[in-house]
Amino acid sequence: MSKFKKKKDGGLAPINTASLPDIVFMLLFFFMVATEMRLDTLMIKNTLPNADQIEKLEKKNPVSFIFIGKPSSGYEKYGTEARIQLNDKFAEVKDIASFINEERALLREELIPFLTVALKVDKEANMGIVGDVKQELRKVNALKINYMVAPGDVSNNLK
Amino acid sequence: MAKRAAPEVNAGSMADIAFLLLIFFLVTTTIPKNSGINRKLPPMEESDEDVIIKQKNIFTILINGKDQLLVEDELMELKNLRKAATEFLDNGGDGSCNYCQGGKDPASSDNPDKAIISLKNDRETSYAVYIAVQNEIVAAYNVLRNRRALQVGSQKGFPGMDFIKMQENYKDVRWTGNKEKLKEVIDQIKLEIPQKFSEVIE
């Protein structure tokens, strides 16, 4: 019996947590460096389709985002059809032109021709609205576009 | 007064503070994954001149509202599209293209410079299928460009590098090689196998 008692006496040495802040700070710095601030709060469903022949969007050129998708839960009053989201609010097709002009006004003049419009379109959206947006972009001469996709196999798109 | 040692700062809450910051950054930031398919829209100006293109030089793809593909008037599965498009581009019907390895079918395209892929979609077509088709078309061009890059690259001093790799290296700052020469090769391949791709917009 005395054997057991002896063990209990020793007890567990307290774990030294002095290096815990260091570890957490390391994680913190990793996330600060590797991520960027969320710019837009999405009010729509935005699951991108898959593709494998992709190019990286070049950082040195200015990029404007247009989101298209069904209103997500909490925004059902905006309907069940795919809608356009510009910055933080829902928009109509006719708002695209003024949005692009606003974006251009923020840029230095020499960068304006390099403005790329990145279309983040939900995979469940129809081409009708995307076609309308493309037509509107042609009207304001914003011709460089990029269909944002998630890396993956295209056969996932057919499900 | 006796000398007193400076009191030790209690660092026990340091971990809590760091965790707080960490969680804040986890919640408010996203990992950027900006990749996609680059495309250029045609300018708006209307030209009155009708460009006459031979029917055999056009590869038509129609996607209907039920996401079915009609390629050159035949129903096709998506997985066969890449091969069909590659064969069309690689045909080299008029014999002017010495790097083509196609069947030289007189009823198909003359050479990669003249071959045009035309895509038409319905309003009801789903975006996912549209992207899949776009992806397959880009893939078809890349197949040919990669093959050509391996041929040209070995002559110009970039052996074992396909077109994708060439473009990657050209953009990569850390790559130590002759970038001007690489640019020439890339431009040559782009000229030999141009992406001539048109979309019908109503």
CATH of the domain at A92: 3.30.420.270
DSSP A4-69: HHHHHHH-PPPPP-TTHHHHHHHHHHHHHHH-EE------B--PPPEESS-EEPPTTS-EEEEEEE
List of chain A residues whose C-beta atoms are within 8 Å of the C-beta of residue B138: 53
Domain that holds residue A57: 50-152
- ipTM for the complex shown: 0.79
Residue A150, chain B, CB below 8 Å: the answer is yes
Residues 6+ apart with CB under 8 A from B53: B114, B116
Among candidates A21, A126, A138 on the partner chain, residue whose Cβ is nearest the Cβ of B127: A126
Taking CA atoms, what residue in B is nearest to A143?
A: B41
Is the pTM above the cut of 0.90?
A: no
A153 — contact with chain B (CB < 8 Å)? no
Pick A31's closest partner by Cβ from B29, B42, B138: B29
Residue A84 in any domain: the answer is yes
What are the structural domain ranges in chain B? 55-200
- The closest of A63, A81, A74, A158 to A120, measured between CA atoms, is A63
Of A21, A56, A124, the CB nearest to B35: A56
Asked whether residue A30 is assigned to any structural domain, the reply reads no
The alpha carbon of residue B140 is apart from the nearest alpha carbon of chain A, in Å, by 10
The answer to the question of residue A19 being in a domain is no
Q: Per the domain annotation, does A146 fall within a domain? A: yes
Between the two ends of chain B, the Cα-to-Cα distance in Å is 93
Could you tell me if A154 and B44 are in contact, meaning their C-beta atoms sit under 8 angstroms apart? no
Q: What is the pLDDT of residues A106-151, one digit of tens each?
A: 988 888 888 999 999 998 888 889 999 999 998 898 888 999 888 8
Q: Judge whether A33 is closer than 8 Å to chain B, CB to CB.
A: no
Which of chain B's residues have a Cβ under 8 Å away from the Cβ of A158?
Answer: 67, 78, 128-129, 132
Closest by Cα among B75, B130, B39, B136 to A128: B130
Split into its structural domains, chain A has a count of 1
Q: Going residue by residue through chain B (202 aa), what tens digit of pLDDT does each one get?
A: 567 788 888 877 888 898 999 999 888 888 777 788 888 888 877 766 777 888 888 889 999 888 888 988 889 888 888 889 888 888 877 777 778 887 788 888 888 888 889 999 888 888 899 999 999 999 999 998 898 888 888 888 888 888 888 888 888 888 888 888 888 888 888 888 888 888 876 6
Domain membership flag for residue A15? no
CA distance A134 to A96: 10
Is A109 inside any structural domain?
A: yes
Picking from B12, B41, B142, the nearest residue to A145 by CB comes out as B41
Determine the distance in angstroms separating the CA of B166 from the nearest CA of chain A, rounded to an integer: 13
Task: Give dist(CA A40, CA A42) in Å, integer.
Answer: 6
